[in-house]
Amino acid sequence: MPPPSDGTRHLAPAKVNLTLHVTGRRADGRHDLDSLVAFADLGDVLHVSPGDALTIDGPFANGVPVDDRNLIRRALAAAGTTRAVDLDKRLPHPAGLGGGSSDAAAALRAVGADLGLDALMALGADLPVCLAAAPSRMRGAGERVDPVALPRLHAVLVNPGVAVPTGAVFAALEGHGPPMPDVLPAGDPLDWLGGMRNDLQAPATGVASVIADVLAALTAAGARLSRMSGSGATCFGLFPDPAAAEAAARRLDYPGWWARACTLNPSAP
């Protein structure tokens, strides 16, 4: 879990789905997932203080609600408390990076709230894993979160500035696949990750063809593995070291694109 840098500043880290296997669909319409999730050393920043106002600024503040539709407000209300929150919105949205859920989880961590699983799932399927904010295997509809050991990974996140509606992506999904293997093998994790999937990548690319351009650009910039995160449109590339990731992020700073180098699992050895 990422610690705040001081008593009022809290990081809401970007959530990256390294894998996302869609394994079935329930009678209530929700999909069963099996996903390996990592968190970055960058994200939105919340400044929390006494009060009850919610203010939003930052490069991606436009379009983020400040009323009761905002997950921060809903999470604090579920916890039975109030705080004044200034959200520095640094992540694009919607982007497949769990931004709103991570913001709400950061607010809950800031107030020390201990909501039950049902309350978290009522807020959103990503809330349990975002509250953990640590490498995890997320299963079911998001309610089953188990910690996993992952090494530090050097990544570039790229969003092409296109919103991809999650509903449209799932509507275009054809069939389901098997879950991940139960054991993450020893050795180079990129070899293992390369054999896994994001089952939403193909339908999302059908909705927004620019995703294919982003993946190709990451590969051309030297990524050992490139894949879409979540339901898109943000994609990630994994690189051998921080310098290679930084160089690739600079190369991919195209007009209209958001590209950032980062470290996933920053507390890992």
Mean pLDDT by runs of 10 across the 269 residues of the chain is: 58 98 90 96 97 96 95 97 97 94 97 95 96 96 95 97 92 92 82 95 96 98 98 96 98 97 93
Q: Is 33 helix (H, G, I), strand (E, B) or coil?
A: strand
Q: Are 46 and 103 in contact (CB under 8 A)?
A: yes
- In this structure, the answer to whether residues 56 and 131 fall within a common structural domain is yes
The Cα–Cα gap between 234 and 256 comes to 13
Domain count, the chain: 2
Is 32 labeled as catalytic in the residue annotation? no
Question: Per-residue b/e over 112-140, b at no fewer than 16 CB within 10 Å?
Answer: ebebeeeebbebbbbbbbbbbbbbbbbbb
- In this structure, the answer to whether residues 82 and 131 fall within a common structural domain is yes
pLDDT of residue 7: 57
Tell me the backbone φ, ψ of residue 261, rounded to 5 degrees. -80, 145
What residues contact residue 188 under an 8 Å CB cut-off, 6+ apart? Answer: none
- In this structure, the answer to whether residues 239 and 193 fall within a common structural domain is yes
Flag whether 83 is in a domain.
Answer: yes
- In this structure, the answer to whether residues 139 and 204 fall within a common structural domain is no
pLDDT of residue 175: 86
Is 41 labeled as catalytic in the residue annotation? no
Last residue of a domain, one of 86, 119, 147: 147
- In this structure, the answer to whether residues 116 and 174 fall within a common structural domain is no
- In this structure, the answer to whether residues 43 and 137 fall within a common structural domain is yes
**Of residues 34, 103, 126, 199, which has the active-site annotation?**
126
Range of the domain at 188: 153-264
**Of residues 6, 15, 57, 199, which has the active-site annotation?**
15
